[in-house]
Structure 1
Amino acid sequence: MGVSFTYMNSEIKSAGRILDLLEYLATQRDAVSLADIVHSMSFPKSSAHGLVQTLVARGHVVRDAAGRYVLVEASRHGFPFRRHEEPLVLTARPFMEKLRDESGETIILATMNAHCDIRRLAKSVSRQGVRYDINLDAAIAAYCTATGRVLLAHASKDALDNYLERVQFLSYTRYTVTDPTVIRDMLARVRRDGYAINDQEFVTGSTGIAAPVFDANGSITAALNLGAPTIRYLERREAMLLMLRNTADEISRALGYRRVPVAEKRPAV
């Protein structure tokens, strides 16, 4: 009986520690080192390492190239990364943090499935007092957001047609575009220009701009979004757009993408 009681106490203690660790990581805006965890939580180093590795193995925490740990944002709401998403987020996160610091605005990474459902994977939130922020699992309308437009613009014709036929076009603000024909034209421009803008169409007073992220095969794998209060966007829109597009290109190259020159695309005669 004594051995069983000791074993249960040990298990309960570990469960409490892992919950404490999750709560601590949830309060950290940036990735933290194992030393940070040990110092902040007063855990023995061996215990802290074992706990954080358990969370990494379960997909609730990721370890970046610098050896720092960060809570998967989705884990706050009960769903960890899918297997193919973790490498994308690990690659993109340092670029997202750099863009957040350079622009002063919130950066979000999102993907889309074959049914044109948007899934936000990670965010780096602005440090400014007035800032754009959103829960990653909050509903998102693809047709009237910059993230959604970038991903829809690169969707297959069948997927896009199916989406536009079944979606209910709601006016979230007085600026929301709900005409399917106009939306198709907008998506064609997004694909041509390489970026999308949502100017107060989803949330009044906030503007989002997004650019595509490509993988090593040249396929779109995500959209990188910069969200800002509209007043700050209007003051620096050209600079913000340039920073965003450059960062999306950097992430794409880090994923192995190589832009093919036009001359190489021409078929042999």
Structure 2
Amino acid sequence: MGVLFTYMNSEIKSAGRILDLLEYLAVQREAVSLAQITGDLALPKSSTHGLVQTLVSRGHVVRDNAGRYMLVEASRHGFPFRRHEEPLVVTATPFMEKLREETGETILLATMTAHCDIRRLAKCVSHHGVRYDVNLDAAIAAYCTATGRVLLAHASKDALDHYFARVQLLSYTRYTITDIHKIHDLLGRVRRDGYAINDQEFVTGSTGVAAPVFEASGAVVAALNLGAPTTRYVQRREALLLAVRSAADGLSRALGYRRSGASSAPGSFR
């Protein structure tokens, strides 16, 4: 019985520490090093490293290229990363942080399922008092958002046909475009121009700019989005658009993409 009691005590202690670790990471606005974690929580380095690695392996925590750790925002809402999403977020994080610092606005990374459902993966929230923010698991309408339009623009024809056959085109604001022919025209322009804009079509007073993220094969695997209050967007439209496209291009290169002379064909989504 003594051995069992000791074993149970050890298990309970580990459970308590992992909960302490999750609560600690949940309030950190930026990624933190293992040394900072052990120092702040006064925990042994060896066992803390094991606990962190367990959370990483389960998709609740990611380790960036600098060796720092951060809680996956999605894990707070019950959907940790799928296997192919974690390396994408790890690679994207420094680009997102840099873009936020350059523009002062909120940055989001999202991908799309084979059924054209948008899945937000990560965000870097603006430090402005008045800022755009959203829960990663909040509903998003692909046809009237910048992120959605970028991803729809690079979906296959069959996926698009199925999407528009099942989705009701609702007016979220007085600016929302719901005419199917106009939406198809918009998607064509997104493919041609390499970016999409949602100007108050989903949320009044909020504007989004998004650009595609390509992987080595040339397929679009994600969209990088900047969200801002419309008043600030209007003042800096060209600068914000250029910054988003530049960051998405840098991230694509980091993923192994090399742009050819011709524009990319529509890609597929996992």
TM-score normalized with structure 1 length: 0.96
Q: Can you list the C-alpha shifts for 1:24-64, whole angstroms capped at 9, x where unaligned?
A: 11111211000110121111112211110111111111111
Matches for 1:44-193 after TM superposition, within 5 Å = 44-193=44-193
Q: Can you list the C-alpha shifts for 1:66-94, whole angstroms capped at 9, x where unaligned?
A: 00001111111122111111111111110
What is the CA–CA distance in structure 2 between the aligned matches of 1:262 and 1:42, rounded to whole Å?
55
**Cα RMSD between the aligned structures?**
1.3
Q: Which amino acid aligns with 1:203?
A: V
Provide the secondary structure at the position in 2 that maps to 1:137: coil
Partner of 1:211: 211
Provide the secondary structure at the position in 2 that maps to 1:197: strand
Partner of 1:227: 227
What is the CA–CA distance in structure 2 between the aligned matches of 1:44 and 1:131, rounded to whole Å?
39
Q: Can you list the C-alpha shifts for 1:172-205, whole angstroms capped at 9, x where unaligned?
A: 1111111111111111111111100001111111
Partner of 1:237: 237
Q: Which amino acid aligns with 2:115?
A: H
What is the CA–CA distance in structure 1 between the aligned matches of 2:149 and 2:223, rounded to whole Å?
9
Q: Can you list the C-alpha shifts for 1:198-228, whole angstroms capped at 9, x where unaligned?
A: 0111111110000000000011010000000
Partner of 2:196: 196
Partner of 2:247: 247
Q: Which amino acid aligns with 2:20?
A: D
What is the CA–CA distance in structure 1 between the aligned matches of 2:229 and 2:20, rounded to whole Å?
34
1:2 CA displacement:
2.1
Provide the secondary structure at the position in 2 that maps to 1:185: helix
1:262 CA displacement:
4.2
1:127 CA displacement:
1.1
Partner of 2:41: 41
What is the CA–CA distance in structure 2 between the aligned matches of 1:8 and 1:150, rounded to whole Å?
51
What is the CA–CA distance in structure 2 between the aligned matches of 1:217 and 1:258, rounded to whole Å?
9
Q: Which amino acid aligns with 1:199?
A: D
Provide the secondary structure at the position in 2 that maps to 1:109: strand
Structure 1 gap segments, 5+ residues each: none
What is the CA–CA distance in structure 2 between the aligned matches of 1:66 and 1:208, rounded to whole Å?
29
What is the CA–CA distance in structure 2 between the aligned matches of 1:185 and 1:28, rounded to whole Å?
42
1:12 paired with 2:17, answer no
When residues 2 and 96 of structure 1 are mapped into structure 2, their CA distance, relative to the original with a 3 A threshold, is same
1:128 CA displacement:
1.1
- The ranges of structure 1 where at least 4 consecutive aligned residues each deviate by more than 3 angstroms after the TM superposition are none
Structure 2 gap segments, 5+ residues each: 266-270
Q: Which amino acid aligns with 1:250?
A: G
Between the two proteins, the alignment pairs up a number of residues equal to 264
Identity %: 79
Provide the secondary structure at the position in 2 that maps to 1:178: coil
What is the CA–CA distance in structure 2 between the aligned matches of 1:98 and 1:65, rounded to whole Å?
14
What is the CA–CA distance in structure 2 between the aligned matches of 1:237 and 1:36, rounded to whole Å?
39
What is the CA–CA distance in structure 1 between the aligned matches of 2:96 and 2:173, rounded to whole Å?
28
1:3 CA displacement:
2.0
Q: Which amino acid aligns with 1:223?
A: A
Q: Which amino acid aligns with 2:17?
A: R
TM-score normalized with structure 2 length: 0.95
